[in-house]
Structure 1
Amino acid sequence: MKPKCLAVTSHKGGSHKTTICVNAAAGLGMRGLRVLIIDTDGQKNSSIHAALPDDENPDVTLSTLLSNNKDDAKLKDLTRLAIKETHWENVSIICSDDSIGNVADKLQLTSHMAFSELGKSLNHVASRIDDPVNGFDAIIIDCAPDRRILTTGAIAYATHTLIPILSGSLYGYDGFLDMLNHITSLRKETNPQLVNLGILISGWDGNLLAHKKLLGLVTDRYQDINNVDLVKLFNGRIPRSTKMEQASMLSRSIFEVAEPSSSIYMAYDNFVDQLCVDMGLAVHDKLTHEGV
């Protein structure tokens, strides 16, 4: 059975997409779930944040796997080499690299062929890791901030999607609408079982007018299309916090740098709990991380 797969995607950079991916993975790992992050972004932010220092620039990356998707025996061996440990228990990663864009361009012969090729590649990768030794409970795909072939393929492969919006960013709102339309189209055409978990607002400050205005725009949009069950406003919002920058600088999760009683820790903790419910993930014993 294919693991539950969450594609975190936005058509606007700076939406805290990578931050959400790595902290969601760390939080799921704390709950005893085995998680694989797949970094499809050429900026390599998830790879830099999550991978151990010796593995930040590995010899075998997602580019390698996509370039060898037609050789099943070779792909099986390469996939095992591509899966790297991270800073967090139960969490692994397949890193991206600078050549990922060129690899994607080669796959993109036509939109239909490109989807088929990438979908087949991701299925091959998933089938190689879904076994008693290397099986994962969940895959989290950190998508590039675009609608190109890797992002399209990730959405077409995923079981769930999530769209983050940076609070107060009207450009982010426009990007949300564009990505929502893309997800809706893919669900109708190629992935009818896809569940869009909705919108997660990050960097929230309820005292700022711009943040309140954006929330109103998103809420209005949610109400307009709620009847067709395409999107919802995710329960809770991720607040602004300097702890997020600290976690990124230290290559740690928010659960390691923030106090459990802090608003940012509790917001992410509640977010991960909701992910488990919405994605149907069975939680095991919950671990804790010591602060840095």
Structure 2
Amino acid sequence: MAKILALTNQKGGVGKTTSCVNLAASLAATKRRVLLVDLDPQGNATMGCGVDKHELPLSVYDVLVGHAPVRDAIVPSEAAGIEVLPSNGDLTAAEVELINSADSEGALSRALEDLRGDYDFILVDCPPSLNMLTVNALVAADGVIIPMQCEYYALEGLAALMDTISGISSTRNPKLHIEGLLRTMYDPRNSLTVEVSRQLIAHFGNKVYRTVIPRNVRLAEAPSHGLPVIKYDKHSRGAIAYLALAGELIRRQDAGKVRQQPEETAVR
């Protein structure tokens, strides 16, 4: 059964889409079956996977408003080794149309439920705002990965996001939890970066991934070629970091499964 993870942060420019594309490709490199859901009308994750957002017969918009079954809209990404539920500018209209539906917050959850048996991971790239699309992602997700830079304003935005997650967990999706906080564009030479990182670890403990994503030119260049960084330059620091993150995510999931087993089974 697929684990559904929403990558979200209301602050833009924190490496959210970069992390979604590259984590998806890195998980696929470990032989996991991965679906990336692009829930941002900008369609950057779609393009970053080598899928042309301007040439889509169907997109996530059609799925959310009930115009097409979800499987009809999914396309393969040979560049990333995954499948993609793509997005483009049409998605901007979905929020307005969803408001008039009976369950405006549960459209994505209903669409993804039938796909859980087809994948190991479903990653959802959210828009950089707390709107109806992001709420749909949080209602559908099992966990949330929060990419963030280690800077002062990132901490302010994190508080608002935590409130949103808590509210949805208590009213619509009791299984929703913080899967992890991912430090992006990390520069250990910057004293503020080190201090904010220390504060995150002090407050969130092991929810903060040990893996950090460095500032890396190859990471910035890869999307313009429609490739994840492991296909663009697998020896780059960015590629190595996202492969390490995929490994950490898998190890955490495996450890969680062991803890959920009866004690006598876990000992064997």
Shift of 1:11: 1.0
1:138 Cα shift?
Answer: 1.5
Question: In the TM superposition, what is the alpha-carbon distance from 1:104 to its structure 2 partner?
Answer: 1.1
Distance (Å, rounded) in 2 between the aligned partners of 1:140 and 1:45: 14
Distance 2:254 2:137 in 1: 20
- The sequence identity of aligned pairs, in percent, is 24
Matched AA of 1:268? Y
Counterpart among 260, 274, 277 of residue 248 in structure 2: 274
Given candidates 175, 181, 184, the residue that maps to 2:166 is 184
Contact kept? 2:169, 2:175, Cα under 8 Å: yes
CA RMSD between the two structures: 2.3
Query: What are structure 1's unaligned runs of at least 5 residues?
Result: 69-73, 282-292
- Identify the match of residue 111 of structure 2 among 101, 125, 128: 125
Deviation at 1:41, TM superposition (A): 0.7
Maintained 8 Å contact 1:17/1:164 = yes
Residues 15-34 of structure 1: pairs in structure 2 closer than 5 A: 15-34=14-33
Looking at structure 2, the residues matched to 123 and 161 of structure 1 have their Cα atoms a distance apart, in angstroms, of 14
Give 1:94 shift: 1.0
Unmatched 5+ stretches in structure 2 = 256-268
User: Would you say the 8 A contact 2:105–2:139 is kept in 1?
Assistant: no
Instruction: Tell me: CA distance 1:161–1:280, structure 2 relative to 1, closer, same or farther (3 Å).
Output: farther
1:140 to 120, 123, 128: 123
Residues 197 and 234 of structure 1 are in contact (CA less than 8 Å); yes or no, is this contact kept in structure 2? Answer: no
CA distance, structure 2, for counterparts of residue 80 and residue 152 of structure 1: 22
Q: Which residue of structure 2 lines up, in the alignment, with residue 265 of structure 1? A: 239
Partner of 2:59: 61
Q: With the length of structure 2 as denominator, give the TM-score of the two structures.
A: 0.86
Q: 1:201-280 residue pairs with structure 2 within 5 A?
A: 201-222=183-204, 232-260=207-235, 262-280=236-254
Partner of 1:52: 51
Give 2:224's aligned amino acid. M
Quote the residue 2:98 is aligned against.
Answer: 107
**C-alpha distance in 2 between matches for 1:124 and 1:219:** 35
Indicate conservation of the 8 Å contact 1:51/1:93, yes or no. no
Distance of aligned partners of 1:256 and 1:190 in 2 relative to their CA distance in 1, 3 Å threshold: same
Given the superposition, is the C-alpha separation of residues 214 and 127 from structure 1 closer, same or farther in structure 2, using an over 3 Å criterion?
Answer: closer
TM-score (norm 1): 0.79
Number of positions where the alignment pairs a residue of Structure 1 with one of Structure 2: 255
